[in-house]
Chain A
């Protein structure tokens, strides 16, 4: 089992450009989570899918962030018109059923740098 795979590991964009981050959850896991990590805010919940359906996107900045899960093998986080304050490490995690007592399995993260 390869674990949660996130690509790319590092992404550099210019201000105003679009960034798409990819996540491949562990096979058989029904839940996918996206978190953002910064030094100031720490680990922040962004959004959650269960069985590919969006359940909670309460942590997503509404205007420029969107997430999708078109099939059970991958999820994407898209940031339009990136801003310097979007610079962060974006972490994807999957879990067997999505309940909070379940262990979260994290990917290595994508470090986004907006110049």
Chain B
């Protein structure tokens, strides 16, 4: 079946340092899945951070970027300079393509940014 594997947390980074959270996927039901990063900030609900539905494209939001790499089946999340407010749990997710509806989530990566 479809699955997502991401960096096991917690990941601890100092403020202003760079960040990468790895995400790789296996899509057996669809050749070109939709890819997402969702985030849960403390005390808030799960919400979309960014998405990319076309292979080779890059998505960005709030200073975060992720590029859909079909060759390596990866969708790593990166940020050049993190802030304390980025402390949250990040989930990589895979959607089963146009016309499909199911979204499969990774296990989540807790990010702790120290001041």
Which secondary structure characterizes the binding site on chain A? strand
What interface size band does chain B fall in?
20 to 34
Could you tell me if A45 and B102 are in contact, using CB atoms closer than 8 angstroms? yes
Judged by a CB distance under 8 angstroms, whether A85 is at the interface is no
We find that the number of chain A residues with CB closer than 8 angstroms to chain B is: 25
Docked-complex contact A100 and B45, CB < 8 angstroms: no
**How many A-B residue contacts, CB cutoff 8 Å?**
58
Stretch binding the partner chain, chosen from B9-17, B63-71, B73-81, B104-112: B104-112
Query: Do A43 and B101 touch across chains, with their CB atoms under 8 A apart?
Result: no
For A91, list chain B residues within 8 Å (CB). 46
Q: Please indicate which of the listed interface residues B95, B97, B99, B103 has the most CB atoms of chain A within 10 Å of its own CB.
A: B103
Min CB gap A24→B, angstroms: 14
B34 in the interface (beta carbon within 8 A) = yes
Q: Is A71 an interface residue (CB 8 A)?
A: no
Instruction: List residues of A (75-104) whose CB comes within 8 Å of B's CBs.
Output: 91, 93, 98-101, 103-104
Residues of the A chain whose Cβ atoms lie less than 8 Å from the Cβ of B51? 101, 103
The contact of B101 among A4, A42, A100, by CB within 8 Å, is A100
Closest 8 CB pairs of A and B: A100-B95, A43-B105, A106-B46, A42-B107, A101-B34, A100-B100, A103-B48, A108-B45
